[in-house]
Structure 1
Amino acid sequence: MIDQVDRELQEWVKSVVMGADVVLGPPRQLEGKHGVSLYLLALTNPPQAWMNRQPPIRIALRYFVATWAGDDEEEAHRLLGKLVLAAIKKHEYELDLAEVPAAMWAALGIAPRPTFTLCVPLPIERLEPVTRLVQGPLVMRGTPITSLYGIVLGPGDVPIAGASVELPALQLRNHTDTGGRFHFPTVPGEAGSTRLLVKAKGRVQNVTVEQPTSGREPLVIRFDSFEIK
């Protein structure tokens, strides 16, 4: 994506200052020559002026723009002036005339000279969702809802208090009361569609609900032994 913006920016500069060399990279590459250097400084947040653009711009590329014309500084200034005026008229770009810090010149290894920074949008392709044609009338299918009552018993049919009862598919969990009972008020009503994970005293059981339950006829879950084998 960035390489595409590089090429488009180079072509735009060439159309403004025809006949001049346009290179990507640090400005000193053109020192003593005739042309324009475009140096990508950073990827940054888009300028405030772009906030309402459609589609929204999420990333901006900041290019450092400098011109050279051998020993002819007047010609270098002419090239720079043409680019500045063209950038002002090109609404897709944002011109930044802030002074370049001295540390930047030191890092680039060249003496300070007139330059400007250009913010260019980085287009990001959005994948449009695939819209499929409706081939028939809309059919609504409901899932029956019921309540689940159960009791957890240990050896000798002794109720187990504090056993953990989970519905993994619904991310629900309950614990048995002092009588070993538990209750989930809303679960799928289709036979075989409700699966439980029951944990008691270090033992685990997977249980599938095969028939309706009620407070009088709860699902009975038995642990025959808690001995460690």
Structure 2
Amino acid sequence: MNRDEIVQAMIAHSRSLFERNYTYSTGGNLSHRFGDGMLISATNTSFGRLLPGDFVACDLDGQPLPGEARRPSKEAIFHAAIYRVRPEVGAVLHLHSLAAIALSCLAAPTDTGNVLPAVTSGSVTRVGRVPLIEYIPPGAQRLAERIAEVCRSVNAILLENHGVITYAPTLDQAVDIAEELEQNVKVWLMTGGQARILTDDELAGLKPLFGATVTPGTQRPALRDGVSLGGGLRW
């Protein structure tokens, strides 16, 4: 795709996500691989109001290319880090969605475990294992470094008190992952963590059908010490 086609696809998805409350205000950003670099939404822009001029071509260090009129999102450095580590990735999506943020504030950070409750088969077949990175200020170089450390074998990463990142070969797939993740987390939180979770045996049965990677015993997030979900949350 050329630049105009990529931009139009990003605008269509960003407006849809904004209208469905997947992000708010000027929170979140998205990018698409472009030539030897990427196109990313500009700083201080809203998913609900993006225009063709609101995207910036950057190299894979996150720096704008000569001639670009706008400044890229401050998160450009972690988008670039994912593209460097994962050459098959074609699009990166970062959202401040309600359920994802809520879970990021409740679960215990883990690099090697999983914080995504397996409420539906899609949590495994489409999303897979989701690590949670400890809180690091947005735009910090250390955040990009941590994402580069954990992004190699997963399709999504939760950021403590911040939001979620999903990435895939196409933008459509990155959006699908975000939607599936948000659905599973929302159901789990709405039921106060009492929703029935698929068992190890049930998840293992998905492998021959979908080639899904199943990690036994990781269907339910480990909560931080002293955290209780009580009777669930209203949405």
Shorter-chain TM-score category?
under 0.3
Per residue, is there more strand in 1 or in 2? 1
Structure with higher helix content? 2
Choose between structure 1 and 2 for higher RCO, CA contacts under 8 A separated by at least 6 residues.
Answer: 2
TM-score by length of 1: 0.24
Q: Output the TM-score relative to the length of structure 2.
A: 0.24
